[in-house]
Amino acid sequence: MTQRPRRNRKSSAIRNMIAETNIKTSSLIYPLFLVDGTGKKIPIESMPNCYRWSLDLLLKEIEKCGQIGIENFVLFPAVEEKFKDKEASYGYSSKNFYLRAIREIKNNFPNFSLMSDVAMDPYSSDGHDGYVENGQIINDTTLPILGKMALAQAEAGIDIIGPSDMMDGRVEFIRNTLDDQNFTETSIMSYTAKYASAFYGPFREALDSAPKSGDKKTYQMDPRNKNEALLEAELDELEGADILMIKPALSYLDVIQSLKNKTNLPVSAYNVSGEYAMIHAAAQKGWLDYESSFLEVLTSIKRAGADIILTYFAKDFAKLKV
Ligand code: PBG
């Protein structure tokens, strides 16, 4: 035998030396959930070790994350039913606790990056990402609402706007709205190919944001399609996106790889709530080893081509590195 591939696997030092895929804590984004009020740390049953935080405790949590090397966060609001309406108007109201939190977090941690969520669903009485009329999601009525949300977030100091709604033309609309008001430095990470997935279940429980009727299949993508993801990516690039996201990650590794081969923009992948929940559930039953399972998951997403990973495993990953 001239070739014996096992020689390159014979010790940990050699395996580490030739490893093709290495994940850095600095390329992870840690999602955090926010509620109004003080002194709150409310567990989310289907997402062990994730909480709905009030701002006072969230600031302490972010500080702790920083100590283990996490510097990038995405923030999602859990909004009380009484603030929801058809226009999602609380989303850009000056009273919105989410906007106040963005200001406070940026004041306390100016060097960390903070990403937002732009979509109507946390604030909509219909629970949809777009404006609902007679059971239809109306694309062009939604755009100005998204524009107002994005602008309010930019004014609050957000670093990266994250449109997660999948309306057509929203990246261009948001970019123009921001630029018109001189927010040329505010980035957009577009949820470029966001699939209509069963894996968002725990997240919707965390935020009480499930649609009140129907599903999201007229705007989120059909899991059977890949070319369509590349079309969405082309449009987002032309419309001014800075970073392109694929979501979920695990069932879409092929899409991540294809997109990475096609674009010169950074590619991110969202390792979503259901992907987190299933590892925890199996580990709790003793059917999987938690640590090696989530490491393998993150490695596969990185190997597929994701430059950036949004993941609820960020803290547990970072702890292994310090
Ligand atoms: C809402 C939004 C969702 C997620 C991020 N932003 C849920 C949805 O589209 O219903 C899912 C994240 C996760 O499951 O971890 N616009």
Interval 301-310 mean pLDDT = 98
- Nearest residue (CA) to ligand 1, atom 11: 200
List the structure tokens of 214: 């129907």
Give the CA distances from residue 2 to residues 6, 17, 110, 230, 303, in Å, rounded to whole numbers and listed in that order.
12, 22, 56, 42, 28
Instruction: Tell me how far the alpha carbon of residue 206 lies from the centroid of ligand 1, in angstroms.
Output: 10
Higher pLDDT, 321 or 169: 169
Q: Predicted confidence band at 322 (pLDDT cuts at 50, 70, 90)? A: confident
The pLDDT of residue 121 is 95
Query: What percent of the chain shows pLDDT beyond 70?
Result: 100
How does pLDDT run across 290-302, given as a tens digit for each residue?
999 999 999 999 9
Interval 61-89 mean pLDDT = 97
> Ligand 1: which of 47, 121, 160, 217 to mutate, most ligand atoms within 8 Å of CB?
121
The pLDDT of residue 6 is 98
The active-site residue, picked from 84, 148, 216, 247, is 247
How does pLDDT run across 248-279, given as a tens digit for each residue?
999 999 999 999 999 999 999 999 999 999 99
Q: Predicted confidence band at 136 (pLDDT cuts at 50, 70, 90)? A: very high
List the structure tokens of 153: 């977030």
Q: Predicted confidence band at 305 (pLDDT cuts at 50, 70, 90)? A: very high
Q: Which atom of ligand 1 is nearest to the CA of 202?
A: 14
- Whether 206 has a pLDDT exceeding 90, the answer reads no
Please classify residue 31 by burial: count the beta carbons closer than 10 Å to its beta carbon, then call 0-12 exposed, 13-18 middle and 19+ buried.
buried
User: CA–CA separation, 99 vs 93, rounded Å?
Assistant: 9
Q: Which atom of ligand 1 is nearest to the CA of 271?
A: 15
Least confident of 96-100, 191-195, 210-214, 267-271: 210-214
247 given a catalytic annotation: yes
Query: Quick check: 237 and 265 in contact, CB under 8 A?
Result: yes
The torsion region of residue 52 among left (phi > 0), alpha (psi -120 to 50) and beta comes to beta
- Whether 13 has a pLDDT exceeding 90, the answer reads yes
> Ligand 1: which of 123, 146, 164 to mutate, most ligand atoms within 8 Å of CB?
164
The pLDDT of residue 172 is 98
Instruction: Tell me how far the alpha carbon of residue 150 lies from the centroid of ligand 1, in angstroms.
Output: 17
The torsion region of residue 269 among left (phi > 0), alpha (psi -120 to 50) and beta comes to beta
- Nearest residue (CA) to ligand 1, atom 7: 200
Residues lining ligand 1, CB < 6 A? 117, 119, 121, 129, 164-165, 200, 203-204, 272-273
- Nearest residue (CA) to ligand 1, atom 14: 200
Interval 35-42 mean pLDDT = 98
The active-site residue, picked from 148, 194, 216, 315, is 194
Q: Which atom of ligand 1 is nearest to the CA of 209?
A: 10
User: CA–CA separation, 10 vs 72, rounded Å?
Assistant: 36
Instruction: Tell me how far the alpha carbon of residue 207 lies from the centroid of ligand 1, in angstroms.
Output: 9
Q: What is the mean pLDDT of the chain?
A: 97
- Nearest residue (CA) to ligand 1, atom 6: 164
The pLDDT of residue 296 is 98
> Ligand 1: which of 129, 200, 216, 271 to mutate, most ligand atoms within 8 Å of CB?
200
Q: Predicted confidence band at 102 (pLDDT cuts at 50, 70, 90)? A: very high
194 given a catalytic annotation: yes
Instruction: Tell me how far the alpha carbon of residue 247 lies from the centroid of ligand 1, in angstroms.
Output: 9
How does pLDDT run across 146-160, given as a tens digit for each residue?
999 999 999 999 999
- Whether 209 has a pLDDT exceeding 90, the answer reads no
Instruction: Tell me how far the alpha carbon of residue 190 lies from the centroid of ligand 1, in angstroms.
Output: 13
Q: Predicted confidence band at 171 (pLDDT cuts at 50, 70, 90)? A: very high
Instruction: Tell me how far the alpha carbon of residue 305 lies from the centroid of ligand 1, in angstroms.
Output: 22
The torsion region of residue 83 among left (phi > 0), alpha (psi -120 to 50) and beta comes to alpha
Measuring CA to CA, which residue among 271, 246, 220 is closest to residue 50? 271
- Quick count: other Cβ atoms within 10 Å of Cβ 27? 15
Model confidence, pTM: 0.97
Q: Predicted confidence band at 70 (pLDDT cuts at 50, 70, 90)? A: very high
Interval 113-134 mean pLDDT = 96
Instruction: Tell me how far the alpha carbon of residue 197 lies from the centroid of ligand 1, in angstroms.
Output: 9
User: CA–CA separation, 317 vs 303, rounded Å?
Assistant: 16
Q: Predicted confidence band at 208 (pLDDT cuts at 50, 70, 90)? A: confident
Q: Predicted confidence band at 241 (pLDDT cuts at 50, 70, 90)? A: very high
